Chain A
Amino acid sequence: GQNIDQPTEMTATEGAIVQINCTYQTSGFNGLFWYQQHAGEAPTFLSYNVLDGLEEKGRFSSFLSRSKGYSYLLLKELQMKDSASYLCAVRDAGKSTFGDGTTLTVKP
């Protein structure tokens, strides 16, 4: 089975940097994804890691360590619009399993 853990809530200040962690225990592994979901909207893709290391995409970076079953999403220069739920998802055997998500609140 799949077990994916993320913090439930985080709060950060506009302009700051925040790191959202995700740990997983899965029977197989074929990639880890981060999605952003604003309230009432569909999830949108942020990043994808399948090999160890850091993937950078603008203000967003994602890191993966397969041996540790660990990933993080790093958000820099936080903006108010970054307030959303951030979902970690692990792909295995043709499907993705989502963590419960981390609700990030960005304050002025």
Chain B
Amino acid sequence: DTEVTQTPKHLVMGMTNKKSLKCEQHMGHRAMYWYKQKAKKPPELMFVYSYEKLSINESVPSRFSPECPNSSLLNLHLHALQPEDSALYLCASSQESGQGLIQYFGAGTRLSVL
């Protein structure tokens, strides 16, 4: 099983809403990632969790708040977003070393901020 599951697949929200994106993997991976991808651009790293601790925050605005409740789950809490935050949000997971650095991506949540 190399599946990373993301929900919801699509999300439309207003600038005053609070919503959460969810990501789940059961591969025993100890590193999990959030990426943001705009159309025709590569994924841009937002956050990395390693062993359930935030290890990298790429200077993401505080309106994005990650959470890792356990080793299988990763959430991204959204509040007071801007229209320019509309994008595909990808979750990925990997092991920690060697061939385990391969990242497996979920199908993404397509977010539209109105």
Interface residues, chain A, CB within 8 Å of chain B? 30-31, 33, 41-45, 48, 50, 87, 91, 94-101
Contact = CB atoms under 8 A, between A and B. Distances in A.
B10 to A, nearest CB: 11
Contacts of A42: 90, 105-108
B56 interface: yes
Contact of B41 (A43, A48, A91, A100): A100
Contacts of A45: 102-104
B42 A98 contact: yes
A51 to B, nearest CB: 11
B101 A48 contact: yes
Contact of B101 (A31, A41, A97): A31
Given A42-B90, A44-B105, A98-B44, 9 more contacts: A42-B105, A42-B107, A43-B43, A45-B102, A87-B43, A94-B48, A95-B56, A96-B101, A97-B45
Interface of B: 31, 33, 41-45, 48, 50, 55-56, 90, 98-99, 101-108
B101 A91 contact: yes
A101 B42 CA distance: 6
Contacts of B56: 94-95
B42 A100 contact: yes
A33 B101 CA distance: 9
A108 B31 CA distance: 41
Contacts of A31: 101
B76 to A, nearest CB: 16
A98 B43 CA distance: 7
Given A42-B105, A44-B105, A94 B42 contact: no
6 contacts: A42-B105, A42-B106, A43-B43, A44-B105, A94-B31, A95-B48
